[in-house]
Structure 1
């Protein structure tokens, strides 16, 4: 993770004390309509020319493009689920499902284009799993944040102490393997870093922009 990522995680941990009471309150999920997406990893023009500073509007436009490309596949794949098939989508968190590099706050707002896709899938019985490099010390506040903005969390995988010394790509691949071992078919894996998507164990992968690593 980048130095900025660790600073953000420390900030989340500090915020945890302030939201402890809130964690006991059922999260109120927004109910916006969702429109999913599909296809293979999409590289955007903006991601190829990483600017010194990432513009929020450009990032959102690029995220919408990736998710719009994913929609036809997800619609078809979800509709064609075989009898008894347990479908799942795996998501990264930072700058994938949540906006965390654009004015930090807690709870972090959802990345709207990704939330729309997630809602489309979860409303049709697809399980949502979240695999992140965040440490387990902030698992509870992370799960609360995801639920608060509208995600249905079927499982949240965070790094324990041993995992902190493990290659991130290897760690994330192992978590997808564990999800498959529970009987799920991972129909899509969505993240903004190569470490989110490498290693297989997903039918399709979709890469959101990180602008040559400028977004964690």
Structure 2
């Protein structure tokens, strides 16, 4: 994910945190997905408002097209997960997910719409994998200050969360790709085999420490 994004997102998240203090949260590298440009599509009344960096419209990214492109990648990932988890009783397997525009529809919803909705095809894949004994880990460039807010959001929309890695102070000195690679290595050090790593940016996927990667669309960086 772009570094500049989180300068904006951290401010937005702080506002969201203040807004939700009374909510339950206070009480509680072979790439399979093709990264291709969005095809033109007419806007419909059912399409949600599209919010991007600094609340600018993602004029070149159509929500419906994005959903279809995500579903196409997940349609390839699901049979792979099924095959990879067959007759593996007792194995410690994991899937690693990026969060923004991979697990959550971050850029298509204003920050005050909390919790941010799940990317449904990815949510369904994560829950399916969990039902087959796979643990689900999230590795994100979000800052550590919103760890609890992010954890609550993921669980609220239905994700199984076996681990959540955010960028704490020491991690800020690493490139995002190096930071994410290091966290996958840390998961492996716990005895896991990472059968799939899923994200929408190359920084989510490079560096190894995963048997297979699946890239969701980012439309040449228009969708971070």
Choose which of 25, 50, 54 in structure 2 pairs with 1:23: 25
Q: Structure 1 residue 5: deviation in Å?
A: 4.2
Partner of 1:10: 11
Alpha-carbon displacement from aligned partner over 1:12-54 (angstroms, at most 9, x marks no partner): 121112323411556xxxxxxxxxxxx84221443699x9521
Choose which of 101, 116, 127 in structure 2 pairs with 1:95: 101
Q: Specify the SS of the correspondent of 1:133.
A: strand
Q: Specify the SS of the correspondent of 1:79.
A: coil
Aligned length: 202
Q: Specify the SS of the correspondent of 1:20.
A: coil
CA contact (8 A) 1:190 1:206 kept: yes
Q: Where in structure 1 are there 5+ consecutive unaligned residues? A: 27-38
Q: Aligned partners of 1:58 and 1:66: how far apart in 2?
A: 13
Choose which of 180, 200, 215 in structure 2 pairs with 1:192: 200
Q: Where in structure 2 are there 5+ consecutive unaligned residues? A: 41-57
Residues 112-127 of structure 1: pairs in structure 2 closer than 5 A: 112-127=120-135
Tell me: CA distance 1:2–1:162, structure 2 relative to 1, closer, same or farther (3 Å).
closer
Q: Structure 1 residue 3: deviation in Å?
A: 3.7
Matched, 1:80 2:82: no
Q: Aligned partners of 2:181 and 2:35: how far apart in 1?
A: 25
Matched, 1:46 2:37: yes
CA contact (8 A) 2:35 2:215 kept: no
CA contact (8 A) 1:48 1:212 kept: no
Q: Structure 1 residue 2: deviation in Å?
A: 5.0
Matched, 1:58 2:61: no
Q: Structure 1 residue 71: deviation in Å?
A: 1.5
Name whichever of 143-152 and 5-14 sits farther off.
Answer: 5-14
Partner of 1:160: 168
Q: Structure 1 residue 162: deviation in Å?
A: 2.1
Name whichever of 5-14 and 66-75 sits farther off.
Answer: 5-14
Q: Specify the SS of the correspondent of 2:209.
A: coil
Tell me: CA distance 1:43–1:5, structure 2 relative to 1, closer, same or farther (3 Å).
same
